[in-house]
Amino acid sequence: KAGVTQTPRYLIKTRGQQVTLSCSPISGHRSVSWYQQTPGQGLQFLFEYFSETQRNKGNFPGRFSGRQFSNSRSEMNVSTLELGDSALYLCASSPSPNTGELFFGEGSRLTVL
């Protein structure tokens, strides 16, 4: 069974640009959540989606947004990039929110210059 797939794995952007990251969950998993990891702030929750609905959102500005498609794939978008958005963005999937256990992808490493 394939794991959680995140694309792209690495990307470099400049300040002011926007970026879209993609996450394909494990087959059969319908809940997708996103986390940001930085050296200064550690691992922080961004948002969680289930059945194409955002169920929970972390404490991030509105420049961070996401969505989930009917096939459970999810995308997150960061607009007007800032240097501080440089981070490893991790996506996790679980069968449903009630199941609890998360399985993570390899992450997308974003560098903002």
Partner 1 sequence: GIQVEQSPPDLILQEGANSTLRCNFSDSVNNLQWFHQNPWGQLINLFYIPSGTKQNGRLSATTVATERYSLLYISSSQTTDSGVYFCAVDSGTYKYIFGTGTRLKVLA
The SS3 assignment for 84 reads helix
The SS3 assignment for 94 reads strand
**Cβ closest to partner 1, residue 11 vs residue 88:** 88
**Cβ closest to partner 1, residue 15 vs residue 43:** 43
**Cβ closest to partner 1, residue 60 vs residue 80:** 60
C-alpha–C-alpha distance, residues 49 and 69, integer Å: 10
**Cβ closest to partner 1, residue 70 vs residue 101:** 101
C-alpha–C-alpha distance, residues 113 and 110, integer Å: 10
In angstroms, what is the minimal distance from the CB of 45 to partner 1? 5
In angstroms, what is the minimal distance from the CB of 33 to partner 1? 7
C-alpha–C-alpha distance, residues 55 and 103, integer Å: 18
In angstroms, what is the minimal distance from the CB of 42 to partner 1? 5
Q: Would you tell me which residues interact with partner 1 (CB under 8 A)? A: 31, 33, 35, 37, 42-45, 48, 55-56, 58, 88, 90, 92, 97, 100-107, 109
In angstroms, what is the minimal distance from the CB of 18 to partner 1? 23
C-alpha–C-alpha distance, residues 40 and 25, integer Å: 28
| Of 48, 50, 52, 56, nearest in space to 29 by CA | 50
